Amino acid sequence: MAEDLINNKDIYFPSYLGTNDKLITLLNRTSQTLCDWFSKADKNGPLPFDESFKCIMPAEDGNSEEDLFSEIESLLNNSFNPVHPGSLAHLDPPPLIFSILGDLIAAGLNNNLLAYELSPSVTLLEESLCKWFAKKLGFNDFSGGIAASGGTLSNLNALIAARNNAGLGTNPNSVLLVSEDAHSSFVKCIRVMGLDTTNLVRIKTDNQGRMDINDLRKSLDKCSIENKKIFAIVATLGTTVRGAIDPIKEISEICKKRNIWLHIDGSIGGIFAITSIPIEGLNNINQANSITINPQKIIGITKTSSLLLVSNMSTLENTFNTGLPYISSKENIINRGEIGIQGSRPAEVIKLWLGLRFLGLNGIENILKSSIKRKDFFIKNISNNKFDIYSGPLHIVSFLPKKLEPKDSDGWTQTKVNELINNNFMLSRPKFKGKYFLRVVMGNYNTKESHIKELLRLLNA
């Protein structure tokens, strides 16, 4: 019947008949184009090299394959290239091969995590994988979780559940406590939750960048005098600028005693907790009510891939369940659009699952250990007569020349970033405690000792 209704000469969609030869040809060509781009990285550096990119918009008629492949190439040539060994600026490592394949499968499946009937196998996979992670982190049988598109959204899911759990849904006096080095997304979360910055209490950090427990105690007392209602305390497991880990054990004891929800933002460091790598301060995380982990940031699961894990799944169900009147439900299976903010959602879990299955625990550990080794090598060899160095137990280092005035840090870091990129090293320049720093993130598996030596030579020169 389809032949009667449309002109079937052009292929718009995969066919349910025959061999899909055309699609196979196009997929092969696309794979070749992508792989060519990867392999050109060495020559071209981490940042765009071809300034000719034009954003061409759709026209009256569709474009030819040749036009489209030439535009794809131009797009690639003007993109940040995470596989280049000098890509050391951010928490954006090279993509894992099996994760790339997972993304392809997810796109082709086009299933929807909103509901079981739209994604039967993937719903079960996401549920099981969240439970697996939750158990690995030490949670019990009531635990589980939900995937979301990024750490910000996982944190937001947690905070909304925490506020709901505390019965503070619409209370304008409700407050959230985070350290002064916590990620900026908490400001966004607070705004989205209808609150403002006065509802975000910042706790001081110590000289290692960890939440100061004395200041936390003082702030808790102050909140209670001012009749502010605390719906959660966030402990960061890996701060963005220096990779510090808040004192989770002490914070969890305070939360238990005062019956406050503990959320751990493990966007950067959470994944270490499923391995046996000894990381100072990484203990007692199973005392939390919720934990964000964001495997896109360090082991190379392709973006976006973030999980919120909770010690008790009923907290998510109670918070987000609305009923989906247009969707069928199946006994004992939760439609995953009913336990988080997002409705329709792609099958992102496939790339996480395939990536993890491919690596195994040993592979994950190997990637994480190598990032710490690179960080250690860098710190050992950077001139500490010349630079003040800010780093913690994870793989991130921020640094600045000693005695540089805050007003000079802007110019110095800008000049240095430009100089480094001309030598194919991409570092970032976060603003931190009123100054700009240079930051190196050692999560790139392609970065070898020789590359770090060259980076150090440029920095120490």
Of the candidates 151, 295, 392, 443, which one interacts with ligand PLP according to CB under 6 A?
Answer: 151
For the stretch 33-42, contacts whose Cβ atoms lie closer than 8 Å and that sit 24 or more positions apart, written own/partner, are 33/69, 33/72, 33/73, 33/76, 34/76, 37/73, 37/76, 37/77, 37/81, 38/81, 38/83, 41/81, 41/83, 41/84, 42/84, 42/85
Q: With binding defined as CB under 6 A, does residue 305 bind ligand PLP?
A: no
Name 175's bridge partners: 230
> Is 180 in a helix, a strand, or coil?
coil
Of the candidates 119, 306, 371, 391, which one interacts with ligand PLP according to CB under 6 A?
Answer: 306
Q: With binding defined as CB under 6 A, does residue 442 bind ligand PLP?
A: no
The site map against ligand PLP for 246-285 (x = CB under 6 A) is -------------------x-xx-----------------
Give whichever of 306 and 424 is closer to ligand PLP, judged by the CB atom. Answer: 306
Q: With binding defined as CB under 6 A, does residue 440 bind ligand PLP?
A: no
Give whichever of 295 and 335 is closer to ligand PLP, judged by the CB atom. Answer: 295
Q: Which two tokens stand for residue 15?
A: 């066919």
Which residue in the shown chain puts its C-beta closest to ligand PLP? 151
Q: With binding defined as CB under 6 A, does residue 391 bind ligand PLP?
A: no
Residue 305 CB, nearest approach to ligand PLP (Å)? 9
Residue 169 CB, nearest approach to ligand PLP (Å)? 24
Which residues touch 343 (CB under 8 Å, ≥6 apart)? 114, 337
Q: With binding defined as CB under 6 A, does residue 393 bind ligand PLP?
A: no
Residue 156 CB, nearest approach to ligand PLP (Å)? 9
Q: Which of 78, 88, 30 is nearest to 55 (CA)?
A: 78
Give whichever of 239 and 424 is closer to ligand PLP, judged by the CB atom. Answer: 239
Give whichever of 179 and 335 is closer to ligand PLP, judged by the CB atom. Answer: 179
Give whichever of 228 and 351 is closer to ligand PLP, judged by the CB atom. Answer: 351
Residues 120, 23: Cα–Cα separation, whole Å: 25
Helix (H) or strand (E) holding 40: helix 21-44
Helix (H) or strand (E) holding 145: strand 144-148
Residues 416, 432: Cα–Cα separation, whole Å: 17
Residue 155 CB, nearest approach to ligand PLP (Å)? 6
Q: Which residues 156-185 are close enough to bind ligand PLP by CB under 6 A?
A: 183, 185
Q: With binding defined as CB under 6 A, does residue 236 bind ligand PLP?
A: yes
Q: With binding defined as CB under 6 A, does residue 294 bind ligand PLP?
A: yes
Q: With binding defined as CB under 6 A, does residue 152 bind ligand PLP?
A: yes
3-state secondary structure string across 362-412? HHHHHHHHHHHHHHHHHHHHCCCCCEEEEECCCCEEEEEECCCCHHHHHHH
Q: Give the interface segment with ligand PLP, choosing from 59-67, 234-242, 403-411, 415-423 (CB under 6 A).
A: 234-242
Name 432's bridge partners: 435
Q: Which of 247, 288, 243, 231 is nearest to 269 (CA)?
A: 243
Q: Which residues 180-199 are close enough to bind ligand PLP by CB under 6 A?
A: 183, 185
Q: Give the interface segment with ligand PLP, choosing from 97-105, 147-155, 359-367, 408-416 (CB under 6 A).
A: 147-155
Asked if residues 260 and 278 have their Cβ atoms less than 8 Å apart, the reply is no
CB burial string 360-390: b at 16+ within 10 A, e below: eeeebbebbebbbebbeebeebbeeeebebb
Residue 51 CB, nearest approach to ligand PLP (Å)? 28
Q: Which of 133, 171, 176 is nearest to 155 (CA)?
A: 176
Residue 234 CB, nearest approach to ligand PLP (Å)? 9
Give whichever of 334 and 349 is closer to ligand PLP, judged by the CB atom. Answer: 349
Residue 47 CB, nearest approach to ligand PLP (Å)? 19
Based on its alpha-carbon atoms, the radius of gyration of the chain, rounded to whole angstroms, reads 24
Q: Give the interface segment with ligand PLP, choosing from 61-69, 81-89, 145-153, 275-283 (CB under 6 A).
A: 145-153
Q: With binding defined as CB under 6 A, does residue 150 bind ligand PLP?
A: yes
Tell me the helix, strand and coil percentages in the chain, rounded to 5. 45, 15, 40
For helices 449-460 and 406-422, the axis angle rounded to 10 degrees is 130
Q: With binding defined as CB under 6 A, does residue 205 bind ligand PLP?
A: no
Size of the site for ligand PLP (CB under 6 A): 14
Q: Which two tokens stand for residue 296?
A: 């896109």
Q: Which residues 84-103 are close enough to bind ligand PLP by CB under 6 A?
A: 91
Q: Which parts of this chain interact with ligand PLP (CB under 6 A)? A: 91, 150-152, 183, 185, 236, 238, 240, 265, 267-268, 294, 306
